[in-house]
Amino acid sequence: MDRKLEKMKKDYLNIPIPNELEKQTHRSIKRYRTLRRISKNAIFLAASILLFITTVNISPAAASTLSDIPFLNKVIKVVTITEWKETKKNSELDIKTPEVTGLENKTLSQTLNQQYVQESKELYSKFMQETANDNGNYSLESGYIVKTDDDLLLSLGRYTIETKASAAESIRYDTIDKQNELLITLPSLFKDDSYIDAISSYILHEMNKQMKADIGSYFVKSDTDPEGFDKIDPYQNFYINKQHQLVICFNEYEVAPGYMGTVEFPIPSDVIKDYLVSDLYIR
């Protein structure tokens, strides 16, 4: 493995991870709600935007000047920082490590990117352990998918598919407020924990509906299955889709048989609108 890459990974892993992201998210959303109540400022903002657009359209010189303003040039995107591939007899490894670039919030940038490097490092170590004796067939694939990328939100999922005697897939999402450069957590979207029961009730309804229609099978808590699904975790895996709708996610085997794969439930905004802190993210 390239020494320069190893050094870069070590530098990432030596950066301390702070614990302030969720607090910042709450402050940002509260600030947004306050701003919405100030109608005069909203009118002024609309007029300013109109003036801004008109000025740029009629004046190339103005457009050139504006291009030097940092917030107009800020581009937050996801790139592949490394891809590790390896083949050992009947075993294969393919790991793509994402990096979020363009963030001015260095705490958020370092925390996320360090986490992604660490996850890839752990997967590589697992592959080496599993293939140490060159026994059997083993495949480990890891990559990422961008679910949403607009002016406000970036939702990034990192998936892992592990195949041994059978296949198992898992995926974990991060959703970033690009304007305020904050990591959005599920609890930060809501006023209190009432969202847990509201979302859980909707998902249970959908599970039962699909099972009655023979289009799905789920592990629902019952007398015969006391370990089945009852309610979501307060920090349940989620992302916000392109329609700014909340999507609750479960890994393979978490709430359904393996043939169902990873399972997603888009939550209608009407179901949760009364529990939301604001409609900044969920609309």
Residue range 249-258, pLDDT digits in tens: 999 999 999 9
Task: Check: pTM over 0.85? Answer yes or no.
Answer: no
| Percent of the residues in the chain that have a pLDDT greater than 90, as a whole number | 66
Residue 125 and residue 199 in one domain: no
Q: Which of 149, 184, 219 is the last residue of a domain?
A: 184
Of 150, 184, 218, the residue at which a domain comes to its end is 184
- pLDDT of amino acid 145: 98
167 is a domain residue? yes
DSSP symbols for the chain: --HHHHHHHHHHHTSPPPS-HHHHHHHHHHHHHHHHT-HHHHHHHHHHHHHHHHHHHH-HHHHHHHTTSHHHH---EEEEEEEEEEEETTEEEEEEEEEEE--S-HHHHHHHHHHHHHHHHHHHHHHHHHTTT--S-EEEEEEEEEEEESSSEEEEEEEEEEESSSEEEEEEEEEEETTTTEEE-TGGGBSSTHHHHHHHHHHHHHHHHHHHTTS----B-SSS-TTSB-S--TT--EEE-TTS-EEEEE-TTTSS-GGG-SEEEEEPHHHHTTTBS-SSS--
- In a shared domain, residues 129 and 143: yes
CA distance 30 to 283: 17
pLDDT tens by residue, 109-140? 999 999 999 999 999 999 999 998 877 789 99
Show Cβ contacts of residue 99 under 8 Å, excluding neighbours closer than 6 positions. Answer: 78, 79, 80, 81, 113, 116
Same domain as 191, residue 179: no
Q: Would 37 be classed as within a structural domain?
A: no
Number of other CB atoms surrounding residue 265 within 10 Å: 17
Q: What is the CATH number of the domain that holds 119?
A: 3.30.565.40
- Residue 3: band (very low, low, confident or very high) from pLDDT cuts 50, 70, 90: low
Q: Does the pLDDT value for residue 61 go beyond 50?
A: no
